[in-house]
């Protein structure tokens, strides 16, 4: 079955299940799920029940697709995302972004947990992404030469929407940092030498997600913005081991603030 046929089947299924036209799409990253409590949920479906959807294998990702409202704004939210390190290919990882676009989503907000390499960033800080460096080994647009998917060579000079970013900063009271996200494969964390290299090439935060989704969002003409939660400080000269439990704990504390910011921006769309 072709990707286009899969997209058509999944879109038809979700419409039958009550997923109406939504204005905003949301992708919630590792340890970031508080926003769901701010959604008036009309429908929640486990990924495993949705035709052609991958299933989340990461313990902290709930794995539900949600349709509901924040204020008067209809939203589709991914309660957990997919990663390359889980074994999925890039077209599977970004499949939900194409589905959101097909269901009428006009704006996309993403979040992630990331390691902070910029020495000015501390645990729990929020970073509005203004650019990225893609070091992942595969591209979600590879092989898609039909105009049905969008332009084959989408421009990436401004991958993150300035207007959405300004709204997020205003809602945060201008307390968010701005920075460049480096996407790596994972799932291991980086060595001291790798952190030095990633900082040297211009990275402020590092993570294992987001960039594939942003590439596809740009291809399909879906303005997007992303906020990273700094969950660990990646100073190569003072590096200490960090566990997933610690990362989730930091993300959970920052999540309350980030969810309020996202909810305010979405309600005003």
Task: Give the whole-angstrom CA distance, residue 252 versus residue 259.
Answer: 10
pLDDT, mean over the chain: 95
134's tokens: 């893609």
Mean pLDDT of 141-161: 96
Task: Give the whole-angstrom CA distance, residue 31 versus residue 157.
Answer: 30
Cβ pair 67, 19 in contact under 8 A: yes
State the pLDDT at residue 59: 61
Mean pLDDT of 143-171: 96
Q: Using one digit for the tens of pLDDT, what is the confidence trace for 55-108?
A: 877 665 578 999 999 999 999 999 999 999 999 999 999 999 999 999 999 999
In this prediction the pTM is: 0.96
All domains in the chain, ordered by first residue: 3-267 (3.40.50.1580)
Q: Kind and range of the H or E element at 170?
A: helix 162-171
Residue 24: C-alpha distances to residues 60, 86, 179, 234 (Å): 23, 27, 23, 33
All residues at 6 or more sequence positions from 78 whose CB lies less than 8 Å from its CB, including other chains: 25, 26, 27, 28, 65, 66, 96
Task: Give the whole-angstrom CA distance, residue 220 versus residue 227.
Answer: 21
Name the 3-class secondary structure at 126.
strand
């Amino acid at each position: 079955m072709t990707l286009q046929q899969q997209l058509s089947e999944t879109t038809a299924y979700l419409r039958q299940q009550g997923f109406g036209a939504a204005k905003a799409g949301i992708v919630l990253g590792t340890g970031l799920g508080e926003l769901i409590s701010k959604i008036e949920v009309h429908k929640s479906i486990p990924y495993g029940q949705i035709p052609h959807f991958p299933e989340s294998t990461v313990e902290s990702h709930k794995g539900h697709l949600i349709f509901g409202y924040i204020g008067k704004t209809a939203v589709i939210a991914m309660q957990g995302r997919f990663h390359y390190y889980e074994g999925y290919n890039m077209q599977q990882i970004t499949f939900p972004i194409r589905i959101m676009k097909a269901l009428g989503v006009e704006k996309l907000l993403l979040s992630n947990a990331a390691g902070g390499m910029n020495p000015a960033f501390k645990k729990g800080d929020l970073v509005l992404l203004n650019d990225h460096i893609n070091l992942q080994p595969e591209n979600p647009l590879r092989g898609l030469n039909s105009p049905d998917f969008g332009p084959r060579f989408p421009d990436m000079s401004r991958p993150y929407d300035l207007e959405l970013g300004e709204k997020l900063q205003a809602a945060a009271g201008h307390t968010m940092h701005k920075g460049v996200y480096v996407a790596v494969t994972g799932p291991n964390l980086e060595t001291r030498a790798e952190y030095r290299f990633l900082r040297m090439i211009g990275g402020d935060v590092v993570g294992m997600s987001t960039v594939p989704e942003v590439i596809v969002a740009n291809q399909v003409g879906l303005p997007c913005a992303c906020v990273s939660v700094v969950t660990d400080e990646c100073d190569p000269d003072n590096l200490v081991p960090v566990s997933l439990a610690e990362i989730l704990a930091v993300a959970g504390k920052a999540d309350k603030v980030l969810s309020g910011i996202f909810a305010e921006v979405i309600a005003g769309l």
